[in-house]
Amino acid sequence: SYRKGGYHAVRVGDQFAGGRYIAQRKLGWGQFSTVWLAYDTRTSQYVALKIQKSAAQFAEAALHEIEVLSAIANGDPSNSKCVVRLMDHFKHTGPNGQHLCMVLEFLGDSLLRLIRYNRYKGLGLNKIREICKCILMGLDYLHRELGIIHCDLKPENILLFSTIDPTKDPVRSGLTPILERPEGNPNGGVTMNIIEKKLKRRARRAVLKISERRASMGGTAKCERTLDGIDMRCKVVDFGNACWADKQFAEEIQTRQYRAPEVILQAGYSFSIDMWSFACTAFELATGDMLFTPNSGQGFSEDEDHLALMMELLGKMPRKVAIGGAKSKDFFDRHGDLKRIRRLKFWPLDRLLVEKYKFSENDAREFAEFLCPIFDFAPEKRPTAQQCLQHPWFNLRNSTQDEMKNEANMGKLNVGMGNLKIKVGK
Ligand code: ATP
Ligand code: MG
Ligand code: MG
């Protein structure tokens, strides 16, 4: 992908925007871009530099993302609404062409990594409440104030928010600015590897310190095994697929496991598809497992399996909803029954939480009462982000003992447990 039209190769110390930003290390990458930690010499701040691939379709996608991110930044001058902030954007010309670059506020690890670091055990419910609150505040802002649908909400696209300022506390954050390209080796690749290794080692040391002090998440810091006492804050990122509710352009949206039923059925969609993905995300935080992991099988498609999984958890889809989409006829007969997957094993959410994930009856009931309304098959009946924030579940608080018990119970879980259903192909 590092060829004409593709990614821009970056070396530590490379300068951007006339020397204003200096590349420090790679933070991540996606299908469209590489993302680098950069030092902003004008403000003495760290930023995330998203460098888009150069071909025309990627440039177009970046322009759209910049448009959405600009609306988000303009509507939130105090940067308090749990959505990533665009700080600048510019073009950068390199050997592979011209790349649009976005300068974003520098955030921490994604919730996916948090789930991984926690060894797929699931987090305590008190922490999940804090994280859910942040996500809902972000969604409420996007939906109600801006009319924007994210269209790709999932743990990978929610980043933890550092409360450590690396420029004020380089030791704890494990970051010291690199202001010029490391000297000596004309072979940049090798130099970069050495520098990266060094940075990683430094980061690891800093992590240990952080764990000892039970301090907050930050910078390159990884989360500690016991997540006790961490201030959980996060922000929604990756607006490459977002759209305005009144200006939709794509039908195939959302990442498979977080996709709402109306998107599968092509029955039109709105803000409530983000709510569906939100509820899937909350479940995953609590259990370490994705809620729906559909597969195609003999005689049925991934889509049909996905609908079957939903109905096994949530009950039968109302006929009106089932037959209401452009693709309904591919999956449902006229009675609203699946054509190729006939025998469904109903396993409701609260029972699943108790039986498979060893939740206490109480925790399971309360969590299910919060999530189930969001999993309404009828999109217009799902509560909005604003309504979810009012839910009494947010006023509950588990005792420290319960919290520890939850995480301990999770520990007994097998990671690769099978699907929650029995399915008969026809
Ligand atoms: P995708 O294929 O998911 O659409 P993309 O090319 O649009 O990818 P992003 O998802 O925006 O790129 O970013 C890629 C990765 O870079 C993220 O998963 C994350 O690890 C990292 N990243 C993105 N933005 C930031 C940020 N503001 N702060 C820190 N890391 C970030
Ligand atoms: Mg992404
Ligand atoms: Mg993207």
Q: Give me the catalytic one of 40, 152, 274, 305.
A: 152
pLDDT-derived band at 115, boundaries 50, 70, 90: confident
Rounded alpha-carbon distances, angstroms, from residue 389 to 79, 114, 252, 383: 19, 23, 29, 10
Contact 121, 288 (CB under 8 A): yes
pLDDT over 70 percentage in the chain? 82
From 7, 25, 27, mutation site for ligand 1 pocket: most ligand atoms within 8 A of C-beta: 27
C-alpha 259: how far from its chain's center? 13
Q: Which atom of ligand 1 is nearest to the CA of 105?
A: 27
pLDDT over 90 percentage in the chain? 67
Higher pLDDT, 203 or 161: 161
From 21, 99, 237, 253, mutation site for ligand 1 pocket: most ligand atoms within 8 A of C-beta: 237
pLDDT at 210: 35
> Can you list the positions of beta strands (E) in 106-251?
148-149, 158-160, 234-236, 243-244
pLDDT-derived band at 123, boundaries 50, 70, 90: confident
Q: Distance, CA 28 to ligand 1 centroid (Å)? A: 6
pLDDT at 113: 84
User: In the predicted model, what is the mean pLDDT of residues 171-181?
Assistant: 80
pLDDT at 66: 98
In order, the DSSP letters of 339-407 are: SSB-------HHHHHHHTT---HHHHHHHHHHHGGGG-SSGGGSPPHHHHHT-GGGG----HHHHHHHH
| Mean pLDDT score across all residues of the chain | 84
pLDDT per residue as tens digits for the range 71-87: 999 999 999 999 999 99
pLDDT at 199: 53
pLDDT-derived band at 168, boundaries 50, 70, 90: confident
pLDDT at 216: 37
Q: Distance, CA 49 to ligand 1 centroid (Å)? A: 10
Higher pLDDT, 5 or 325: 325
Burial class (CB within 10 angstroms; exposed 0-12, middle 13-18, buried 19+) of 228: middle
**Pocket lining for ligand 1, CB < 6 angstroms:** 27-33, 35, 48, 50, 84, 104-107, 110, 156, 159, 237-238, 240
Q: Distance, CA 225 to ligand 1 centroid (Å)? A: 24
**21-29 and 243-244 as β-strands: parallel, antiparallel, unpaired?**
unpaired
Residue type, 293: T
Q: Is 339 annotated as a binding residue?
A: no
Rounded alpha-carbon distances, angstroms, from residue 250 to 128, 149, 234, 268: 31, 12, 27, 11
pLDDT at 180: 85
For residue 198, pLDDT beyond 60: no
pLDDT per residue as tens digits for the range 265-314: 999 999 999 999 999 999 999 999 999 999 999 889 999 999 999 999 99
pLDDT per residue as tens digits for the range 399-420: 887 777 666 544 333 222 222 2
Query: What is the residue with the minimal CA distance to atom 5 of ligand 1?
Result: 30
pLDDT per residue as tens digits for the range 206-264: 433 333 333 333 333 333 334 555 587 899 999 999 999 998 878 899 999 999 999 99
Which of the residue ranges 110-119, 126-135, 310-319, 353-362 would you say has the lowest mean pLDDT?
110-119
pLDDT-derived band at 182, boundaries 50, 70, 90: confident
pLDDT per residue as tens digits for the range 319-328: 999 999 999 9
pLDDT at 25: 93
For residue 397, pLDDT beyond 60: yes
Burial class (CB within 10 angstroms; exposed 0-12, middle 13-18, buried 19+) of 264: buried
User: In the predicted model, what is the mean pLDDT of residues 163-190?
Assistant: 69
Residue 51 forms beta bridges with which residues? Answer: 34, 101
Contact 237, 50 (CB under 8 A): no
Q: Distance, CA 20 to ligand 2 centroid (Å)? A: 26
User: Catalytic: 109?
Assistant: no
Q: At what angle do helices 361-371 and 272-287 cross, to 10 degrees?
A: 160
Query: What pTM did the predictor assign?
Result: 0.85
pLDDT-derived band at 2, boundaries 50, 70, 90: confident
User: In the predicted model, what is the mean pLDDT of residues 187-202?
Assistant: 49
Query: DSSP secondary-structure letter at 274?
Result: H
